[in-house]
Amino acid sequence: MALSSRIDQLYLGQLKEIGPSNTPTGIFKLPCEQPVLLTQEGLEGDIQVDRRVHGGPEKALYQFPAENYAVLQQALAHLNEDFIPGSIGENISSQTLLDNQVHIGDTFSIGEALVQVSQPRRPCWKVNHKYGNGHIAVLLMSQGISGWYYRVLEPGIIQVGDAITQHDRLDQSISVAEVWQRFLERLQKRLPVEAVNRNIPGLSHEWQFE
């Protein structure tokens, strides 16, 4: 059965500063109730300061399951009030699509757009600073709940309430969560990158050599 969900909320980044050096960032996002054009570079109006970690053809759109916040709340109960949809920096908040269900290379229609899962979101230091806790990024990676990025195959308008419907899955694909398992295992065993990632269908070029 094809995977499906809907856009519960859509978020666009605002230019702000973060950290001791007042580094520019787009991780602070606000809800958007209006239809937005999704291009191959991302959502119109979504600030993307550091293209190494967000934005561009392989990281155009970031989806994060709302269910993942419960894992964060359980692990870091003192931050419960901070762990709310939109706060991790996602563009799309959804339910019923999880990191262990969605596979790299999966193709979905979202509104008028057609997108393909390209890689997990690799959380950077800005996530830790946003919540004021140095363990957030490691927790997301170790639990395999970082969410995922899409590349845009066909641009189009998307908006809150749009269905997210799976169209296709590549042969021998693996889940977003399993990519993290392989990544962490590679670090522990000190394996070369190409021994782990290069054979994952649909994985972004960046992650094939990550």
Do 89 and 48 form a contact (C-beta atoms < 8 A)?
A: no
Encoded amino acid at 103, one letter: H
- Tell whether pTM > 0.75: yes
- Is the pLDDT at 88 greater than 70, yes or no? yes
The enclosing H or E element of 119 equals strand 113-120
Q: How many CA atoms lie within 13 A of 80 on its CB side?
A: 3
End-to-end Cα spacing for the chain: 32
**3-class DSSP assignment, residue 204:** coil
Return the bridge partners of 18, or none: 23
- Is the pLDDT at 17 greater than 80, yes or no? yes
What is the radius of gyration, based on Cα positions, of the chain?
A: 16
CATH number, domain with residue 80: 2.40.33.20
Cα 161 to Cα 35, 108, 110, 126, 205: the distances in Å are 10, 15, 10, 29, 32
pLDDT tens-place string over residues 116-168: 999 999 998 899 999 999 999 999 999 999 999 999 999 999 999 999 999 99
pLDDT tens-place string over residues 182-203: 888 888 777 766 666 678 899 9
Encoded amino acid at 81, one letter: E
d(CA 50, CA 33) in angstroms, rounded, equals 25
Total domains in the fold of the chain: 1
The pLDDT value given to residue 148 = 98
Segments forming the whole domain that contains residue 65 = 4-208
